[in-house]
Amino acid sequence: MLDPRNIIRSKRKNLSLLVNSKGELIVRAPIGYPDSRIFAFIKQKEIWIAKKQEQIRSNSYLNQNVANYNTYLFLGVELNPIISNEVKKITLRNNDMLIPAKYPQEKIFGKIEKHFRKVSNDIIVDRCLYYEQQLRLTPSKIVINNNKTRWGVCTNQGLIGINWRAVCLPPNLLDYIIVHEFCHLLEFNHTKAFWGVVNKILPDWKARRTHLKHLNWILSLFRK
Q: What is the C-alpha separation between 56 and 25, in angstroms, rounded? A: 12
Confidence of residue 196 (pLDDT cuts 50, 70, 90): very high
For position 224, what pLDDT does the model report?
64
Domain assignments of the chain as residue spans, ordered by start: 4-58, 65-112, 116-220
- Return the bridge partners of 74, or none: 77
Res 190 pLDDT > 70? yes
More confident: 52 or 206? 206
pTM score of the predicted model: 0.76
pLDDT for the residue numbered 23: 82
* pLDDT tens by residue, 31-86: 989 989 999 999 999 999 988 888 777 676 888 899 889 999 999 999 999 999 99
Q: What is the pLDDT of residue 6?
A: 85
pLDDT digits (tens, 9 = 90+) for 92-107: 998 999 999 999 999 9
> CA angle 115-119-124, nearest 5°?
145
Collapsing DSSP to helix, strand or coil, 108 comes out as helix
Q: Calculate what percentage of the chain has a pLDDT beyond 90.
A: 79
| DSSP symbols for 23-49 | S-EEEEEETT--HHHHHHHHHHTHHHH
Whether pLDDT at 168 is above 70: yes
Q: Which of 185, 175, 188, 183 is nearest to 200 (CA)?
A: 183
For 21, phi and psi rounded to 5 degrees?
-65, -15
Using only the alpha carbons of the chain, give its radius of gyration.
19
Tell me what pLDDT residue 200 has: 95
In the chain, the percentage of residues whose pLDDT exceeds 70 is: 97
pLDDT at site 154: 96
SS3 content of the chain, % helix, strand, coil (to 5): 45, 20, 35
Sheet holding 152-154, edge to edge: 141-145, 159-163, 152-154
Nearest-angstrom CA–CA distance, 41 and 153: 29
Predicted pLDDT at 79:
96
Beta strand 72-74 with 159-163 is unpaired
Domain 116-220: CATH architecture, name and number where available: 2-Layer Sandwich (3.30)
User: In angstroms, rounded to a whole number, what is the distance separating the alpha carbons of residues 161 and 44?
Assistant: 33
Name which of 118, 103, 18, 24 is nearest 67 in CA terms.
24
